[in-house]
Amino acid sequence: MLIKEVFSQFLSEQKSNLAPKTYRDYASVIDLFANQLDGYAWNNLDNGDKAYDKAQKKGKSFIDLYDHTHIEENVGEFLDYFVPRKVVAGDDFILKTCPRVIRKLLKWMREKHLVDVTNEDIQAMCENQLWEDTMRDMGF
């Protein structure tokens, strides 16, 4: 399943279960994750530069072209690098909301048999000390 489809289905299912503000937070985090994937996930591909150039010429983004198997491998970079350094938001959004939404996404993907991860795996991916240290070093 393409990443774009995963994100769309996840948000669609969450919308009916969440308060409007909470849903907006979920949508914001997923949008940020999509932006991170489009900017950085190419680096994890063999011949990523060529794939990026080819996609740009076609007007496609990473989530339009690649499947769900690339989500799990990019969670760490999203939470440890992208969010603390590239996202301008309050510390509550960065420290709590982003990891919470990604945890929920990974658990949802597990329920759909898209990833094979345990709760411990998810916790390790989403509660990495590195991003907490980074935020503290940046004054949050």
Structure tokens at 138: 């940046």
pLDDT at residue 90 in the model: 59
User: What is the chain's pLDDT, residue by residue, as a tens digit (140 residues)?
Assistant: 999 999 999 999 999 999 999 999 999 999 999 999 999 999 889 999 999 999 999 999 999 999 999 999 999 899 888 888 777 665 666 678 889 999 999 999 999 999 999 999 998 888 755 555 665 666 65
CA-based nearest residue to 81, from 30, 38, 135, 8: 135
Cβ neighbors of 11 (< 8 A, separation 6 or more) are 23, 26, 27, 30
Query: What's the total number of domains in the chain?
Result: 1
What is the H or E stretch that residue 133 is in?
helix 129-137
pLDDT at residue 81 in the model: 82
Per the structure, the complete domain to which residue 79 belongs is given by 3-137
Write the secondary structure of 5-68 as one string of H (helix), E (strand) and C (coil): HHHHHHHHHHHCCCCHHHHHHHHHHHHHHHHHHHHHHHHHCCCHHHHHHHHHHHCCCHHHHCEH
Write the secondary structure of 31-44 as one string of H (helix), E (strand) and C (coil): HHHHHHHHHHHHHH
Please tell me the pTM assigned to this model.
0.86
